[in-house]
Structure 1
Amino acid sequence: MDCSVGTCLFPLHRSKTIHLVRHAQGIHNVEGDKNYKAYLNPEYFDAHLTPLGWQQVDNLRNHVHSSGLINKIDLVITSPLMRTMQTAVGVFGGEGYTDDKTDVLPLMVANAGNSFRGAISSHNCPPIVAVELCREHLGVHPCDRRRSVGEYQFLFPAVDFSLIDSDEDVWWKDNVRETKEELAARGLKFLNWLWTRKEKEIAIVTHSGFLFHTLTAFGNDCHPLVKKEISQHRAQFYSVL
């Protein structure tokens, strides 16, 4: 649709509302924001959240619940990395887990990823599905390499990993960095896949690089001011229709 002039109208029944969430602060972000080369540090492999990151999770969780948004979301999609899954289950998961409900698996076991948090329940919350396509910029940076699905299934028992084809991470290469164009193409592939889902209101927990390069390539059929707006680096949470 050519939206260069005037206002665009999209039929509601052909639209989805997506809530885009950039993961909370990870241990790699603390030094990486000061010195980009810090992202090469192998100690940041599959980086987990910092204490400040968990505070950000709690703040967003309070907003999602107080606004009533938690009751509208049909599905949560998360990148299969520690920091995004911690953010996803912390924000959208159920209340504190108790093991007296033996038929309800926890979304996250206690202290997963050095969280010093209790287990998180999967009761009364939207389903959470891990999808490889919305991972961060692939290659070279150890913080963007994932663990095996088997390890994650132990730490996040009620997260659905069925859409991930390989147990081990075959996407990340230690000597090849995904180009910005390749990342943008992967992002558009993810958005096209999203349209095949039946759910109408979806939260996506992903990464700043993925969001920036995807949304920069997306929206060429929108008004230039809209494209400029969606292509900016963002805070932790925003919604797009």
Structure 2
Amino acid sequence: MHRLSIDYSIPDPALTVLGAGLQCDTLRAALKQLPLEIDLIVSSPMRRTLQTTTNALGWRMAEGCPAIALAEFQENSAKPCDTGSDAAAMAAEWSAFDWSEVDPVFPAKTGLYEFSKDGLTRRGVEARKWLRGRKEKVIAVVSHAGFLRVGVSYCQYANADFRVFEFAEGEEEIGGRLVEWELTEERAGGLGKSEKGVFGWETQHFPEEKVEEGVPAEDAQGASAVKVAS
């Protein structure tokens, strides 16, 4: 849900004028029309998602809906544009958000947050488990198209578009099975700007994996722990 500058060397960039203005305005109007009352907002702790949350969901925050920053929903790569800023400084700047659950390692791209197939697989599972374990009925997640696609819902997201899912029985080992509402599935996103269909793992989504000498590539990579949602 963001509009990113084409200069990937800019650290944790802000939204463009288009993203912060027209795109967030359009998103806000659409979210207000949903037959849902949002109980909780969770945002990636990166600048552009915090802006998107404030601009598109600030009306709900003003009504008392809590907003949490969570490192699990940050962007994928380790490029400057996809790496967050110091959490303490961001918490001071974005004080309307609860920063108490942000992993202390943020913004380092290590462990659960490393840019690798294994890292993104594990992070996607943890993100889904976190969502499913919450007591709130309706949670708005403001994250990044890349992570949502490969780690959470396996759907495409255009800039500032949205989709609505419910948890169904099954696939507990990956945090639960997500079923998309027909409303957004048939329209290819709530604003109709995204692509229809399910998008699984693709090689270009991850950095090239190192293969140990004498070990076939397929054995070194192992089996994916994530299933494509049906």
Instruction: Confirm or deny a common fold (TM above 0.5).
Output: yes
Give the Cα separation in 1 of the matches to 2:138 and 2:106. 31
User: Are residues 1:48 and 2:14 paired?
Assistant: yes
Deviation at 1:125, TM superposition (A): 4.2
Deviation of 1:143 (Å): 0.8
Contact 2:41/2:141, CA 8 A, preserved across alignment: yes
Contact map agreement 1:93 1:125 (CA 8 A) in 2: no
Distance 1:184 1:167, change over 3 A: closer
**Alpha-carbon separation, structure 1, partners of 2:104 and 2:27:** 32
8 Å contact from structure 2 (residues 149, 156) kept in 1: yes
Contact 2:43 2:68 in 1 (8 A): yes
Match in the other structure for 1:137: 76
* Counterpart among 89, 99, 102 of residue 151 in structure 1: 89
* Contact map agreement 2:109 2:115 (CA 8 A) in 1: no
Partner of residue 210 from structure 1, selected from 133, 136, 147: 147
**Map of 1:82-161 to 2, 5 A cutoff?**
82-94=47-59, 122-139=61-78, 141-161=79-99
Q: Which residue of 2 aligns with 1:171?
A: 109
- Paired residues of 2:11 and 2:81 also in contact (CA < 8 A): yes
Q: TM-score by structure 2 length?
A: 0.64
- Which amino acid letter does the alignment assign opposite residue 213 of structure 1? V
Deviations 1:97-135 (A, max 9, x none): xxxxxxxxxxxxxxxxxxxxxxxxx43142110011111
Report the residue type matching 1:62 in the other structure: A
Residue pair 1:138, 1:178 contacting (<8 A) in 2 also: yes
Aligned length: 162
Instruction: Identify if the C-alpha distance between structure 1 residues 52 and 67 changes in structure 2 by more than 3 Å, giving closer, same or farther.
Output: same
Counterparts of 2:105 and 2:120 in 1: how far apart (Å)? 22
Q: Tell whether the 8 Å contact from 1:138 to 1:172 is kept in structure 2 after alignment.
A: no
From the superposition, tell whether residues 167 and 233 of structure 1 become closer, same or farther in structure 2 (CA, over 3 Å): closer
AA at the equivalent of 2:50: M
Q: Taking CA–CA contacts closer than 8 Å with sequence separation of 6 or more, which of the two structures ends up with the larger relative contact order?
A: 1
Identity %: 31
Aligned CA distance change for structure 1 residues 172 and 50 (closer, same or farther; 3 Å): farther
Q: Quote the offset at 1:162 in angstroms.
A: 0.3
Root-mean-square deviation (CA, aligned residues, Å) is 2.3
Distance 2:116 2:49 in 1: 22
Structure 1: segments with no counterpart, 5+ residues:
1-22, 32-37, 96-121, 216-229
CA distance change for structure 1 residues 167 and 153 in 2, over 3 Å: closer, same or farther? farther
Residue in structure 2 matched with residue 57 of structure 1 by the alignment: 24
Distance 2:30 2:119 in 1: 34
In 2, the alpha carbon distance for the partners of 1:145 and 1:195 equals 26
